[in-house]
Structure 1
Amino acid sequence: MHLFNKRRQGYHYESLAEQYLQRQGLSAIARNVHCRGGELDLIMKDGDCWVFVEVKYRAHNRFGSAAEAVNRRKLQRLKHAALYWLHSNGMAAEHCQLRFDVVTIEGTDHAISWLTNTLVEE
């Protein structure tokens, strides 16, 4: 039962994030995509750019903010899952515009923050 509630909670916050991004002009492509290498919470389009979105919710920041929960390792998994998804849909990353965003939802008031282009190559 606990896993089901956690999954349902995840869908709820992904839905809030998707609606928020649509109000900002992005188009929804897919939600909660499981593929080799990980899971993609949201796949959106911003004009011609594919946007792969990690959604994080925190009721409180006792153990760190929602943004702090998205570490470098998590972003690398997001990148690998996105590249796999593009490839499996007949696209090559070299020929696509793409970026990796993070949407955080925090507190009982569900304050939303949108961090764009979070994965910067070194």
Structure 2
Amino acid sequence: MHNPKPTSSRIGAAAETRAQRYLEEQGLTFISRNYRCKCGEIDMIFKQLNTWVFVEVKYRSKQMFGNAVEQLSYHKQRKVLNAVRVFLLDNHLNEYHTPIRIDFIALTDTSIEWIKNVTG
């Protein structure tokens, strides 16, 4: 029996699992993974004290197509922010009175970079 080449969804799930463990080690409480709505997707949702933390995860095995941090375009940030707004509505949370933060985790095979509050 041979080992098939990992699919991009398996690679992505493994990267998200690695990022989840890392953030839990940093004291965040895991809430959910892969929240989807018509506006987009939120890779992971955590809480840190009373702040909801929405996390975008990007993995790159090779730098030839740019590193993971370079994948966080303005367009991607807007899509995540729109999905966050839908999540807040779905969970009866007022976007103006609920502390939120959008973070970015950039992974390679050997490193994890955590960028907090990417949307300012």
TM over 0.5: yes
The answer on 1:113 being equivalent to 2:89 is no
Query: How much does 1:36 deviate?
Result: 1.9
| Partner residue, 1:35 | 37
TM-score if structure 1 supplies the norm length?
0.90
TM-score if structure 2 supplies the norm length?
0.92
Q: Which amino acid aligns with 2:31?
A: I
Structure 2 segments unaligned to the other structure (5+ residues): 1-5
| Partner residue, 2:47 | 45
Q: Which amino acid aligns with 2:117?
A: N
Structure 1 segments unaligned to the other structure (5+ residues): none
One of 17, 25, 28 as aligned partner of 1:26:
28
RMSD: 1.1
CA distance in 1, matches of 2:72, 2:15: 15
Q: Which amino acid aligns with 2:45?
A: I
For 1:13-43, what per-residue CA distance to the aligned partner results, in whole angstroms no more than 9, with x for missing partners? 1111011000000000001111120011000
CA distance in 2, matches of 1:37, 1:119: 17
| Partner residue, 2:82 | 80
Q: Which amino acid aligns with 2:107?
A: I
| Partner residue, 2:14 | 12
Runs ≥4 in structure 1, deviation > 4 angstroms?
none
Query: Which one has the largest radius of gyration?
Result: 2
| Partner residue, 2:92 | 90
Percent identity of the aligned residues?
36
Aligned length: 115
